[in-house]
Amino acid sequence: MTEPLMKLEGLTKAYPGVVANSDVSFEIEAGEVHALLGENGAGKSTLVKTIYGLVKPDTGTMTLDGKPFTPAEPRAARAAGIAMVFQHFSLFEALDVAENVALGMENPPPMSALAQRIKEVSETYGLPLDPSRIVGDLSAGERQRVEIIRCLLQDPKVLIMDEPTSVLTPQEVDILFETLRKLKSEGTAILYISHKLEEIRALCDHATVLRLGKVVGTCVPRDTSAREMAELMVGGTLHVPEREAGETGETLMQINGLSAPSPAEFGTSLKDITLEIRAGDVIGIGGVAGNGQDELLGALSGEIRVGAGQVAFMGQDIGQLPPDARRTLGICAAPEERMGHAAAPDMSLTENAALTARKRKALTKKGFIDWGKTRDFAKEIIERFDVRTPGPGNAARSLSGGNLQKFVIGREILQDPQILIVNQPTWGVDASAAAAIRQALLDLAAKGAGVIVISQDLDELMEISDQFAALNEGRLSKPRPAQGLTVEEIGLMLGGAHDMEVAHVD
């Protein structure tokens, strides 16, 4: 047997109150696509950050190419041949692609040579990308390509991808997978984290499953069903959301010819959107991110004020009301970006509970915050939504991605809203927690609330929506009953969406 490319032995890393990794060992061969599976907070990100030199393990060793590997910082890891694509991009929107790539390099070559290199790499690996385009104009998938190309330029031996597909469209996922297969055929090892089990089955050769920081099993994804893998992760059986077919009731919210410019420099304006939300309705809104999703949520939550008569709640014109006034009426929202938008990263969970819930939960009296009551509410969210954290005093930043998402969604649902608007509610959330969130959304609707779910995940939308509409360049298609919609019909509704071809790889 040949020596494996990378070997991890007994890695342990503890944070105050949690053991993120406990005695983790496994091996990665050259040319292997290795999946890391596990629930939210199982310790996947911590493990790959250890490999990338961002986290120092308490105990344990790593070897690369048979030699001991102890990166003190990402630069050392990169020099040794480790590259990583983070879920949250670190790009400057106002700069072009080549400039962004140069910023990530230690000794960038002259711009023209770099642009040439980017072109070559993007052609070789089937990642269509023009080096002179401004990043602000790129889609999420294209931005990710910038990050990937930045990695490929350093000829990595191991490429780490932490939840790369949660922001991609199905077409973009196909393009990405072609690239990864090509890299694999050249002998690059890929360490791949995702909660999308079908993707893992399509792409990965081996999988290591983590639970509460420990390795609890391994499997060959091709020969294991998604359900089996999910159950391996949870250590129990998986609950599939179900809904009782409820009657839809009176009209709660009426959106009439909603048009609004985007406040963001590279945003999409909303154009003439019309939609009616009834009690008990779950309306799914599909479409590629960046087509007005953020703006639509903002216009409904009150972050963006709109003209008279465009948004009405129970017959009252609310287009000019600020967020707090809308929450008082019963309109809650959960934006897509959890760090810095839905939650303040450096504040505790208690403080983050006060962020949106102070009106509906009566957390303030004459402007004075009742911190005891706020802490209790934060505790309730943590308990009811199974947020894995030592307690409400912890900073939002210290939660794993999926756990913060659970907290944010839980905070809004537990306020008992009349209307709830969520954008990517299960982004980065593991299969069982995603099922729990969807169930909670359905329960809310069953209690008579109207729910708008904006998502890129068509399966998710089909699972929970009564009606489906597509958002495309700021326009919303006419909603149609979700039951019985065929893939072709959905495709037509999304029509005009960037129809990207899978790049041909030679």
Partner 1 sequence: MIILEKRPQPSQFWSYGAPLVAVIVTMIFGAALFAVLGKPPMEALSKIFWEPLFGEFNFFYLPQLLIKGAPLVAIALGLSLGFKAGIWNIGAEGQYIIGALCGAGVGLALYPMEARWLVLPAMLIAGAFGGFAWAMIPGILRVKFNTNEILVSLMLVYVAEQLLAAMALGAMKNPEGMGFPGSRNLSQYASASSWIDQSNGMHWGVVLALIAVIFAYILFTKHILGFQINLAGQAPRAAAFSGVNPARLVLFCLGISGALAGIAGLTEVSGPAGVVSIDFNVGYGFTAIIVAFLGRLHPVGILMAGALMALTYIGGDVAQSSLGLPKAAIQVFQGTLLFSLLGIDVLTNYRVRMKQGAVA
Ligand X SMILES: Nc1ncnc2c1ncn2[C@@H]1O[C@H](COP(=O)(O)OP(=O)(O)OP(=O)(O)O)[C@@H](O)[C@H]1O
Tell me, by CB under 6 A, how many residues bind ligand X. 21
Name the minimum Å distance from CB 379 to ligand X.
16
What is the pattern of x (binds ligand X, CB under 6 A) and - over residues 397-426? -xxxxxx-----------------------
- Using CB atoms, what's the residue nearest to ligand X? 402
Query: Taking a C-beta distance cutoff of 8 angstroms, is the pair 493, 468 a contact?
Result: yes
Per CB under 6 A, the segment of 12-20, 126-134, 219-227, 230-238 that binds ligand X is 12-20
The residue (of 15 and 177) whose beta carbon lies closer to partner 1 is: 15
Alpha-carbon span 466 to 183, nearest angstrom: 42
Q: Is 409 in the site for partner 1 (CB under 8 A)?
A: no
Cα-flanking dihedrals φ and ψ of residue 274, to 5°? -130, 130
Residues in contact with partner 1, total (CB under 8 A)? 35
Q: Out of ligand X, partner 1, Mg ion, none, which partner does residue 388 contact, by CB within 5 to 8 A per kind? A: ligand X
The whole-angstrom separation of Cα 147 and Cα 105 is 12
DSSP string, 75-100: HHHHHTTEEEE-SS----TTSBHHHH
| Near ligand X in 374-393, by CB under 6 A | 388-389
Residue 194 engages ligand X in binding (rule: CB under 6 A): no
Nearest to 418 by CA among 252, 258, 267: 252
Is 295 near partner 1 (CB under 8 A)? no
CA distance 312 to 329: 11
Closest to ligand X by CB, 390 or 495:
390
Q: Build a one-symbol-per-residue string for 45-64: x at contacts with Mg ion by CB under 5 A, - elsewhere.
A: x-------------------
Considering the rule CB under 5 A, would residue 423 count as an interface residue with Mg ion?
A: no
Does residue 126 interact with partner 1 by CB under 8 A? no
List the one residue out of 444, 478, 490, 483 whose CA is nearest residue 281: 444
Beta strands (DSSP E) in 73-174 are 82-85, 158-162
CA distance 211 to 236: 12
Can residue 466 be called a binding residue for partner 1 (CB under 8 A)? no
Q: How far is the CB of 303 from partner 1 (least distance, A)?
A: 5
Which amino acid belongs to residue 1? Answer: M
Count of positions (residues) in the chain = 506
Whole-angstrom distance, CA of residue 426 vs CA of residue 458: 12
Please identify, using beta-carbon distances, which residue of 41 and 221 lies nearer to ligand X: 41
Using CB under 5 A, pick the residue from 4, 221, 401, 474 that binds Mg ion.
401
Q: Could you write out the DSSP letters of every residue in 220-284?
A: -GGGS-HHHHHHHHHTSPPPPP----PPP-SEEEEEEEEEE--SSTT---EEEEEEEEETT-EEE
Name the nearest CA neighbour of 343 among 290, 309, 308, 389: 389
By beta-carbon proximity to partner 1, the closer residue of 204 and 343 is 343
Among 4, 6, 11, 43, binds ligand X (CB under 6 A): 43
Positions in the binding site for partner 1 (CB under 8 A): 73, 75-76, 79, 301-303, 322-325, 327, 333, 335, 337, 340-347, 351, 354-356, 358, 364, 367-369, 371, 395, 397
